[in-house]
Structure 1
Amino acid sequence: MRKQHLLWTGLVVLTFILAGCFQGEQSMEEIDAPEDAEPVDSLEEIDTESDEGTASETEGDDSSTPVGEAETVPRQLYLLDANGMVASQTLNLPLEESKEVAAQALQHLVKGGPVTPMLPNGFQAVLPEGTEILSLNLQEDGTIIVDVSQEFENYKAEDERKILEAMTYTLTQFENVERMKLRMNGTPLETMPVNGTPLGDGYSKTNGINIAENDTVDLVDSKPVTMYYPARQGDDSYYVPVTQYVEGEQEEMYSNIIRELVDGPGYQTNATQVFNGQTGLADVPTLTDGVLELEFTQDILAQEGHPVIADEVMETIVRTMTELQDVEAVQIEVESVDQLVNESGEAYEEPVTSDMFIPAEKL
């Protein structure tokens, strides 16, 4: 009888315990969050010092970017090569928000900055050490206003144009940027601080880059044209832009540019000669709806009897010609050749644009 009494007593106690548990569980669900609690709007507001939950949150993550490695994107940076020429290098930079990419690119032009461990052999950054990009402001007319810190003025006079050229060409890789204006610590610069280069309404690609001096050219009857020449530094291949003055009007201008490309820019650029010296045009160039049609003699072919145009030859021509106003693409033909192909055997079935070599993007 005593055992039966103990059994009933135990069941009653257990019932009260379970009832208390269920009641406590229900009350936790019904508790409202404090009225003054602020919701987390961004990852930056999360306390990242705690390790709790890390394993469960990363488990099963199928991201293609390896753990510990930041996602990168290729960007064109205009740096100084071993010959002191301003030339572009495509480097993989950490992926940033769209509004930050231009500032990031400029910051990678600073000596001693984040670009240092990434520099190819023979290349160096161009902006004075310690320079900071304080702000960027892109106007509707394509003018980008760059505010730099006081360290920007710590350069040699002979480097002034190189600094302007490197900054301008780095920024105008973005298709909605046309020109650059400068401020230093918020104060607009009408001239550069060391050698007084005028900035006026802004500095653009029309001001030229690596300008070649030529005493035999009549500057009154000629126009500045930026031509691209392939160059090599060790195992690294790149293109050097050189602004040269070329005489002529329209079709004659196109023919003269081709002649200049075949002749090359001279020894100072360390350019690689990729044209057969006999290369020439077989017909007068024509421009129709933005497409420049160029018909060459067979001397342009990589090998006699084979319809192959060397990749560097094609890129040299297209990069150069699409810098010209109204030229959006280039259609290259060769006399007595039905279908041209590249070095990989792929046919050139459509006019070639510069996007094939240097994809453009907007800020």
Structure 2
Amino acid sequence: MKMPWKAAAVLAVPFVLQGCGFGSDEAGNMDEPPEEVTEDIAWEDFEEAAQQEESSSSAEEEPAEEETVERELYLIDENGMVAPQTFSLPKTEGVLKQSLEHLVTGGPISQMVPNGFQAVLPPGTEVDVRLEENGTAVTDFSPEFRDYQPEQEQAVLQAVTWTLTQFDNVEDVSFQINGYKQDTMPVNGTPIGDSYSRAQGINLENGRVSDMTNSSSVTVYFLSQIGENSYYVPVTRRISGKDEDNKLDAAMTELVRGPSPESGLHDVLREGTSLVEPSQVKQGTASIFFNEGLLSGQNGSVSEEALHAALLTATELEDVENVELNVEGAEEVLRVNGDTLEDPAARPALVNDAPSKG
């Protein structure tokens, strides 16, 4: 409670003890304590100082906000397919090890995994990783790594590889268990070789190719859905060796064909969409030529789903950095919001945003 008075000056008065020698000259010669004088301090000044101290203390106690960065983690969905989901992870220098640790079931990711997805590494798996100068990420797992289900072996191999190769300085991944190099996966013996890369594919489909020795592969993106959450799934298909010279056109052809019926995936292009000219790449820019079936009937625009899938599919090729979409009979291509599509358009920063759990 605020007091209406000011602190009074205090005068310390010396006193003399008598008897038993304490009154002798020796005692009288002792230094007397100095007078204590307290300055007049206004109560308002005292209260202001206390408030400043309390404010300073509160500021020191408030924890600094943790800096985060968005990373893609490849998980297994309820259909057994490997798909990326994007998470905000604490910013750290050891991004490769951090990414692998977040693939462990029951690990740091356990409270963030969206419904219908699961982490790929067995519970209790400890991980380490180092990056060699040639771009190979050398992973080393504890023995718990062997405890995955046999039917999930390729998904584990692909999820680890695609999670680490999202970083520009990682070209491929080699596998070790307790420091011992693995040429094959430990349960079903899926070949790894010296290393594994995105070139080996993800969610593999043989497609319409019968001669596997004279074939190549492309990766295309289709849609899947769990509840109300839609997300893109990469699918690698074999293509005939004769299409090797124009892999962009082969990839766009597979995108137009759509997903296989047994995959459970959804098409991203409208029925009737087709290519009117061969796709081509010049100086890093892919030019793709669709008929007007690509456009929505509402305002003559390309849907965000079709645009997203086309950009992701084209830029999976090493020589493609940007994409130019052309539509037969249209001077410009519009987005759903009415904006003109950037010419050329770059790959989306993220494949999928992770939906909230629950």
- TM-score category of the 2 structures, normalised to the smaller one: 0.7 to 0.9
Distance in 2, Cα, partners of 1:294 & 1:213: 25
Distance in 2, Cα, partners of 1:81 & 1:100: 27
Larger Rg: 2
Deviations 1:211-259 (A, max 9, x none): 1133554324431111111211112121111110122336754333223
Question: In structure 2, do the counterparts of structure 1 residues 212 and 249 end up closer, same or farther at CA, with 3 Å as the change threshold?
Answer: closer
Distance in 2, Cα, partners of 1:162 & 1:201: 19
| Partner SS for 2:293 | helix
Q: Is contact 2:291–2:328 with CA below 8 Å preserved after alignment?
A: yes
Deviations 1:252-272 (A, max 9, x none): 543332232122221343222
Amino acid at match of 1:319: L
Q: Are 1:56 and 2:43 an aligned pair?
A: no
Deviation larger for 339-348 or 325-334: 339-348
Aligned counterparts, 1:62-101, within 5 A: 70-93=66-89, 95-97=90-92, 99-101=93-95
Match of 1:351 among 336, 344, 354: 344
Question: In structure 2, do the counterparts of structure 1 residues 212 and 232 end up closer, same or farther at CA, with 3 Å as the change threshold?
Answer: same
Match of 2:119 among 122, 125, 140: 125
Amino acid at match of 1:280: S
Q: Is contact 1:262–1:277 with CA below 8 Å preserved after alignment?
A: no
Question: In structure 2, do the counterparts of structure 1 residues 186 and 280 end up closer, same or farther at CA, with 3 Å as the change threshold?
Answer: same
**What is aligned with 1:260?**
254
CA RMSD of aligned residues (A): 2.9
TM-score, normalised with respect to structure 1 = 0.77
Q: Is contact 1:280–1:296 with CA below 8 Å preserved after alignment?
A: yes
% same residue: 38
Question: In structure 2, do the counterparts of structure 1 residues 349 and 216 end up closer, same or farther at CA, with 3 Å as the change threshold?
Answer: closer
**Structure 1 or 2: more strand by fraction:** 2
Deviation larger for 311-320 or 241-250: 241-250
| Partner SS for 1:339 | coil
**Structure 1 or 2: more helix by fraction:** 1
Offset of residue 289 of structure 1:
0.3
Match of 2:317 among 318, 324, 331: 324
| Partner SS for 1:114 | coil
Distance in 1, Cα, partners of 2:57 & 2:351: 39
Distance in 2, Cα, partners of 1:219 & 1:127: 30
**What is aligned with 2:206?**
213
Deviation larger for 344-353 or 145-154: 344-353
Q: Are 1:285 and 2:279 an aligned pair?
A: yes
Offset of residue 13 of structure 1:
6.2
- For structure 1, the 5+ residue unaligned runs are 1-5, 19-52
**What is aligned with 2:266?**
272
**What is aligned with 1:138?**
131
- For structure 2, the 5+ residue unaligned runs are 1-12, 15-30, 38-52, 353-358
